Amino acid sequence: MSIFIIAEIGINHNGDLEICKKLIDFAAIAGCNAVKFQKRDINLVYTQDFLDSPRESPWGTTQREQKAGLEFGLEEYREIARYCQKKGIEWFASAWDLNSQQFLRQFDCKFNKVASAMIVYHELLEMIAKEGKHTFISTGMSTYEDIQKAVDIFRNANCSFELMHTVSTYPMKTKDANLNVIHTLREKYQCNVGYSGHESGLAISYAATALGITSLERHITLDRSMYGSDQAASIEPLGLQMLVGAVRKIVKAMGDGKKCFIEAEIPIAKKLREHLT
């Protein structure tokens, strides 16, 4: 078994392509399988009254300026696609509206992602499922009924998918992790299950790995003190390297579950049991 490790850049690039490239570099060096972004048409995702409301940020004094400052456009995504190809790492994004999913189609990424907030947006799910690409579906803020509807949409479209156990708090408290839901989702929906974590630290992700997840997603950042709502729940470069290395080791250590007397034990057994012969 292998685990598909996703470094969630999201909007932690803060609208800066150079920061974005550094994050891609760190993900590639650490051995992640992919980096992921978030794409929004802010005029569809937010109301005009909200966008016109006040908010102090590095980009101005309104919500509109803050949201627009965090969004990459066509030229930035073309550069992301070029740079990821150069670095030998996959990339994809979670769309928050139909326009954004249509926008992403031009890049023909190998994967799709349904964000937890969007699992109840059935029209978007149907649009994604029709593409037939393997899709990671996060399950934060959802009920069994919400998840079942999403599963039905993807199965009816014959589109490959896996669920991801998620708790949508930033950062997530340890007491809320409820990792045994990974087993529940796997048994209830008869599918592969991953884990998308928003906790501080690495221990919970290690535990999820030992529960047999097929994918692992964590937010990454250059520095957790940077501006942004996701930074505190993100992993810095050194932590990312530790995470990937440990996850790969845990997967290898889990084995196949069959008890055996391995060859390397034979001379040790002979020595330690010599007095019994």
Per-residue pLDDT of the chain (277 residues; tens, 9 = 90+): 799 999 999 999 999 999 999 999 999 999 999 999 999 999 999 999 999 999 999 999 999 999 999 999 999 999 999 999 999 999 999 999 999 999 999 999 999 999 999 999 999 999 999 999 999 999 999 999 999 999 999 999 999 999 999 999 999 999 999 999 999 999 999 999 999 999 999 999 999 999 999 999 999 999 999 998 899 899 999 999 999 999 999 999 999 999 999 999 999 999 999 999 8
Distance between CA atoms of residues 84 and 28, nearest Å: 9
Nearest to 117 by CA among 55, 198, 19: 198
Average pLDDT, the chain: 97
In this prediction, residue 277 carries a pLDDT of: 82
In this prediction, residue 1 carries a pLDDT of: 73
| Contact partners, residue 187, CB within 8 Å, separation at least 6 | none
In this prediction, residue 140 carries a pLDDT of: 98
Model confidence pLDDT, tens digit, residues 245-257: 999 999 999 999 9
* Measured CA distances, 26 to 23, 136, 192 (Å): 5, 22, 27
172 bridge partner residues: 199
The structural domains of the chain, ordered by start, are: 4-276 (3.20.20.70)
Nearest to 10 by CA among 32, 40, 47, 37: 37
Distance between CA atoms of residues 88 and 32, nearest Å: 10
Provide the whole-model pTM.
Answer: 0.96
In this prediction, residue 97 carries a pLDDT of: 98
Model confidence pLDDT, tens digit, residues 104-148: 999 999 999 999 999 999 999 999 999 999 999 999 999 999 999
Q: Is residue 150 within 8 Å of residue 127, measured between CB atoms?
A: no
